Structure 1
Amino acid sequence: MLKAIIFDCDGIIADTEPLHLSTLQQSLRQEGIVLTTEDYYAQYLALDDRGCYKLVYQRNGLELTEAKLSELMRRKAESIEPIMRRELTVFPGVPDFIRTASKRLPLAVASGALRGEIDLILDHAGVSSYFEAIVSAEDVTRGKPDPESFLKALSLINGRRDNTIDPAECLVIEDSLHGVQAARMAGMRCLAVTNSYDRSRLSQADIITSSLADITLSQIEIVFEY
């Protein structure tokens, strides 16, 4: 039985992946490093900022000190916030889906984004009050595809109730390959939305939809009957 839902944020609630890409590329260009759009979507999309920079430097054969990593992350965070405030777009149907789901189930966010970025997105979408728990990049030591963020979100949900919800009773909503893999490693079911990848790339998910506007909780609950 479906008893809880955990949402990714970037690429699920709001169309922020292009904004992350452009600010990541800008910060890397200042270091003489080129990151193509194709490489970002193929290898980096689900990683948090720390993971992105570390992998980029590793694949370019460059040393990345902790001080330089902190500087890069700070510059990106400072540059993306005003852009998000100007250009943030919420995906169609998402606020309604969240409001409807919250009437029946506890909801959480587990994202590789920084907490300030998550709060900005949820506030912009008008859905902040519907989430019991938020897990951001600052709250975990291992990013997706490691399941740490999803398991921590479920732990926070369980901390608010007497009856424990098992991972198998939890749905993750994701747009990325690493996110789908993390959900499976957490022992959770996964609904993938084709906002960032086509259906063939997300085949490990239990359900795939082109939009949260096109699916209902009743359709999702069928998956939990097997």
Structure 2
Amino acid sequence: MLSAVIFDFDGVIVDSEPLHYRAFMEVLAPHGIACSWDEYREHYMGFDDRDGFRAFFALAGQGLEASLLGELMAAKATAFQTIVADGVVPYPGVLELIDALAKTTPLALCSGALRSDILPVLEKFNFEGVFQVIVTADDVAVSKPDPASYRLAVESLAQILPDLGVSPGTVLAIEDTPAGIASARGAGLAVLGVTNNYPAGQLVRQGCLLVLDSLEGVTPAGLEALFPDP
């Protein structure tokens, strides 16, 4: 039985990872830190801003005080919102799938992005209130691949929907990164991987129940079939 679906945000709903990369590079440039897009995908994609900045500075051999980290995160949030204002593109099929699922299935978001990064985009797509639970980097002390964010999302769904039997074994996560898959799997969830940013083989190795090239054509019935009744 499928009781709920939890979507990652960046890289699953919207093609925003390149936008995060641009914002990181803009903020890090004055500190002499830079990397290529391929290096970003290999080392930093999937982290929230907090752990992303820590990783950038650690790889550069520089210390990072808490006060500077806070300044960097605020500057990156401002840069990202400016970039997003020029437009952000949803992945094929995802808006249609969310619309269809919302009619019958509880939905949540579990993202390493800041809430301030997410809400304006949901507003653009008229998705305010569609997700019963939204867990962001603001809500947990550690980011993916740690399972804390997915655990919190499942616990929150179970609390607000006590009659639906929400538990990790009945919830499907939709993810696009190894870090996100590890987070969901660590919390006991089955995962549908989407190859928006990583090849299928890499996602399969992380233990996905199913890996697809796109969410286009995916239906609620198709997802429910992944959770046959015992």
- TM-score band, normalised by shorter chain: over 0.9
In 2, the alpha carbon distance for the partners of 1:103 and 1:60 equals 48
Q: Which amino acid aligns with 2:216?
A: A
Aligned AA for 2:104?
R
How much has 1:93 moved relative to structure 2? Answer: 1.6
Match of 2:223 in 1: 220
Deviations 1:47-92 (A, max 9, x none): 0000011011111211100111111111111111021021211122
User: How far apart, CA to CA, are the structure 1 residues paired with 2:162 and 2:156?
Assistant: 12
Matches within 5 A, 1:72-151: 72-151=72-151
Alignment of 1:9 with 2:9, yes or no, is yes
CA contact (8 A) 1:6 1:171 kept: yes
Instruction: Provide the alpha-carbon RMSD of the alignment.
Output: 1.3
- Do residues 39 (structure 1) and 42 (structure 2) align? no
Runs of 5+ consecutive residues of structure 2 not aligned to the other structure:
none
For residue 85 of structure 2, give the secondary structure of its aligned residue in structure 1. helix
- If the length of structure 1 is used for normalisation, what is the TM-score? 0.96
Corresponding residue for 1:54?
54
Alignment length (residue pairs)? 226
Structure 1: unaligned runs, 5 residues or longer:
none
TM-score normalized by structure 2?
Answer: 0.94
In the alignment, residue 197 of structure 2 is paired with which amino acid? Answer: S
Work out the CA distance in 2 between the residues paired with 1:70 and 1:162: 37
1:220 shift after superposition: 2.2
Query: Runs of 4 or more off by more than 3 Å in structure 1?
Result: none
Aligned to 1:169: 170
- Contact between 2:93 and 2:218, CA under 8 Å: does it hold in 1? no
C-alpha separation in 1, matches of 2:162 and 2:31 = 51
Tell me the SS of whatever aligns to 2:35.
coil
What secondary structure sits across from 1:145 in the alignment? coil
